[in-house]
Structure 1
Amino acid sequence: MTQHTEVVVIGGGYAGVMAANRLTQRDAVTVTLVNPRATFVERIRLHQLAAGTDDAVVEYREVLAEGVRLVVDTVTRIDAGGRALELAGGGTVGYDYLVYAVGSGSADPSVPGAAEFAYPITTLEEAQRLRPVLDAAAPTAAVTVVGAGPTGIETAAELAERGRRVTLVCGGVLGPYLHGRGRRSVAGRLARLGVTVLDGPGTKVTAVTRDAVELADGREVPSAVTIWTAGFGVPDLAVRSGLSTDALGRLLTDETLTSVDDERVVAAGDSAAPSDLPLRMSCQAAMPLGARAADTVLSRIDGERPSTLNQVFAGQCISLGRGAGIFQFAHKNDVALWFHIAGRPGAKLKELVCKGTVKHLADEAGKPGSYGLHRISGGDQRGRRLRAEGGAAAAATERRPV
């Protein structure tokens, strides 16, 4: 008689949904997804939600396999020894294996006034809170976006295209990941949209007030609405549950994504720190990590040795309003190349990627086990980096006693 296995996935984002769907390919595995929301959030569209060009949500029935039980609640603590989760609603959920995919959110800003006067935009609730604030602001009101990574660039462009007067405060380099050619292309598009870009070492924000942003070089930027996109953080669930984490709070795992503390706990997505060398926070990494985490669980159920992480990147996609975008191509190890696609073709490619992420999840829901991008060969670049890093990374791969 086949033994029945209960697998619980915490987090219903890109990584969690991919893992949950993939796990349903086994009849003897029951899959439960615990998530605080009843709908799937397209996080890569949250800047559109703030600007009023998309609602950034998809019904779970469109992306989640029918065999997955959805529990809308928040996990407050993981009892790894008892293999149970404590829920905010007062109940508990037991498991045989756990997939930890709680994702990421806004980092608590240490800049004076930022927490009080600036609006983060990394979660659905934050974007929903910002939307009416922007709607209530006068059309000519000064809007300041702090942070020049993809989220900051996309937010600034989306709002400027809608007629807002936007200043983008980089705190350093515009689009640090971008190749020089790609950066010039982005800067040109922002200029055409009327975005004022403040970059360089003197543009670090030192304080935020109700109506201004203060910079390290002494400048004061008037701001009726300040949007904060600088930095990401992860939920402290693993820390509160006594599991080993990196300095940011991501769950420490080996290269199979298995917790260094407990082989019954596997991590995926932004909240995972394999070998203390986490991947870039992105849906491009999250979905393959979700598939890899599910494969690790299924291998352990079968008594087989799980495969190790084999992550590759194609580049980075950034929307620049609805009329333009850029796809910055990269080496498989996520180092940007000179080649990019910009303008309207870039916008079309970005939209194709956004729709493609949902399609990947829906396809895996319809045919569990069909996704295969996590198996694309990337050579031994990650292995070489692990060997070069030495001590800390090597120590993280050694499982600690339960």
Structure 2
Amino acid sequence: MTKNIEVVVIGGGYAGVMAANRLTQRDDVTVTLINPRPGFVHRIRLHQLVGGSGDAVVGYREILAEGLRLVVDSVTRIDATGHSVTLADGGTLGYDYLIYAVGSGSADPSVPGAAEYAYPIASLEEAQRLRQVLDAAPATAAVTVVGAGATGIEVATELAEEGRTVTLVCGKGLNPYLHPQVRRKIAKRLDKLGVIVIEGPSAKVTAVTRDAVRLGDGRTVPSEVTIWTAGFSVPDLAARSGLSTDAAGRLLTDETLTSVDDDRIVAAGDSAAPSNLPLRMSCQSANPLGAHAADTVLARIAGQRPATISVGFFGQCISLGHGVATVQLASKNDIANRFSLGGRLGAKIKKSSFTGLIEQLAHEAHKPGSYTWKFKDAKRPERLQAERGEAPAVR
């Protein structure tokens, strides 16, 4: 009797679920998905959970393939030599191949007082805790959102529409990813909602107290509820397990997403650093990277050479309150341009992303191997050559 091939997927986010589902297209592959929660967290809706306008949890049985084993636990160590993982409950699981899709979370703030008095929102538990804090706070309580990337803007607009007094502090400027023309449009929307925007180098937060945020130029911003959305970090599981990582802690891989240390370990999503040139952390890249990671494992099982990644972007969708959104368009290699979609069309596209991502996972569960991605970055090989100081290929 032929022995089944055991594949363990660590992390049940977008990339992990996509990878796990896709692996089930082979009958001789047994897939185990390990995740610390029994429900799927739809992270791009956490701002709605904070604002009280939506939920962010989906039942795993809605998006996981039949026969796929779900283990609700955390991995504390990967033993690459022994091909096993150690769980928080003390148990171990062996594997033939491992997909590392641990995702990302809130960055650990180094600003004095931020860990004690500011509320991050990158995880379900953090968002739920903040929602409870806001429910308990007076409607007139001053709210300060630190960090003006997409998450900061979405939270600020949600709470402003709720009637909150909101200040948005952005030490590096209002969402640096945006094209200046699109940034001005979003600034107008924030102003219309009454959100006070403080930006520029002098607006760098230097301290957080129980009732205020202090800035680099000496100003003090009153804040009864401070929300921290500045940056993301990845779990240190790979580093703790002795695997090679980049400076941010993402697993170092080649262009097939295979670990530079072990060809039985493949990474996907926010925790992957292919060729030390990682893609922007986002749900846009998560599903394609998850699918590609599974394809790499399947190719190795079949004795074939895995393909290299080609994952592109279309831009960035940003909610600006109930029924309003802006879609910043970009090149496939993720450079924002001056074009954007707003109004009802922008809101429709943003809303469709909420359902679309889940539908992609569910469809892959029912028809593994069917998912394809439209946006591919043909210029990535050229950027890799530039990073390595290599001469361009002759055509």
Q: TM-score band (shorter)? A: over 0.9
For 1:305, the equivalent position in structure 2 comes to 305
Opposite residue 297 of structure 1, the aligned amino acid is: V
* Alpha-carbon contact 1:246-1:276 (below 8 Å) kept: yes
Q: Give, in whole Å, the separation in 1 of the partners of 2:296 and 2:323.
A: 41
SS of 1:166's equivalent in the other structure is: strand
Q: What are the within-5 Å matches in structure 2 for residues 154-233 of structure 1?
A: 154-233=154-233
What amino acid sits opposite 2:214 in the alignment? Answer: E
SS at match of 1:18: helix
Structure 2: state its 5+ residue gaps: 391-395
1:294-338 deviation digits (Å, cap 9, x = unpaired): 000000000000000101101100101113111111101000111
SS in 2 for 1:32: strand
Following superposition, the deviation at residue 389 of structure 1 comes to 0.6
1:78-227 to structure 2, matched below 5 A, reads 78-227=78-227
Match of 1:7 in 2: 7
Kindly state the Cα deviation for residue 218 of structure 1 after the two structures are TM-superposed: 1.1
- Whether 2:55 is the aligned partner of 1:48: answer no
Show structure 1 runs of 5+ residues with no match.
393-402
SS in 2 for 1:167: strand
* Equivalent position of 2:386 in the other structure: 388
Q: Give the drift of 1:343.
A: 2.7
Runs of 4+ in structure 1 deviating by more than 3 angstroms, as ranges, are none
Q: Deviations over 1:115-151 (max 9, x none)?
A: 0100000000100111110001110110000000001
Contact 1:327 1:342 (C-alpha < 8 Å) held by counterparts: yes
Letter in 1 for 2:377: G
* Residue 377 of structure 2: aligned partner: 378
Q: Structure 2 matches for 1:281-292, cutoff 5 A? A: 281-292=281-292
SS of the aligned residue for 2:239 comes to: helix
- Structure 1 pair 213–376 and aligned structure 2 pair: CA distance change class (3 A): closer
SS of 2:338's equivalent in the other structure is strand
Q: Could you say which residue in structure 2 is the equivalent of 1:397?
A: none
Of residues 136-145 and 335-344 in structure 1, the stretch that sits farther from structure 2 once superposed is: 335-344
Equivalent residue pairs, number: 390
**Residue matched to 2:393:** none
C-alpha deviation, 1:4, in angstroms: 1.9
User: Secondary structure, in 3 states, of the residue corresponding to 1:273?
Assistant: strand
Q: Distance in 2 between matches of 1:94 and 1:136?
A: 46
**Whole-Å Cα distance in 2 between the matches of residues 262 and 391 of structure 1?**
26
Please say if 1:356 is aligned against 2:356. yes
Distance in 2, Cα, partners of 1:349 & 1:376: 16
Where 1:186 maps in the other structure, the secondary structure is helix
Distance in 1, Cα, partners of 2:16 & 2:343: 33
Letter in 1 for 2:172: G
* TM-score (structure 1 length as normaliser): 0.95
Matches within 5 A, 1:312-351: 312-351=312-351
Q: Distance in 2 between matches of 1:376 and 1:229?
A: 28
How many Å separate the matches in 2 of 1:345 and 1:2?
53
The letter of the residue matching 2:175 is: G
The TM-score with structure 2 as length reference comes to 0.97
Question: Contact between 2:8 and 2:32, CA under 8 Å: does it hold in 1?
Answer: yes
Give the aligned residue type for 1:198: I
| CA distance in structure 2 between the partners assigned to 1:184 and 1:220 by the alignment | 26
RMSD of equivalent CA atoms: 1.2
Structure 2 equivalent of residue 396 of structure 1? none
Identity across the alignment (%): 71
Q: Which residue of 2 aligns with 1:398?
A: none
Q: Go from structure 1 to structure 2 and tell me whether the alpha carbon gap of 1:319 and 1:376 turns closer, same or farther (over 3 Å shift).
A: closer
Letter in 1 for 2:381: G
Q: Match for residue 68 of structure 1?
A: 68
Distance in 1 (CA, whole Å) between partners of 2:311 and 2:386 is: 18
Counterpart AA for 1:83: H
Corresponding residue number in structure 2 for 1:16: 16
Deviation at 1:3, TM superposition (A): 4.5
Whether contact under 8 Å (1:185, 1:342) holds in the other structure is no
- Does residue 255 in structure 1 map to residue 255 in structure 2? yes
Secondary structure in structure 2 of the residue aligned to 1:388: helix
The CA deviation at 1:172 is 1.9
Shift of 1:377: 4.0
1:43-91 Cα shifts (integer Å, max 9, x gaps): 0011111111112000001111112100000000001100001000111
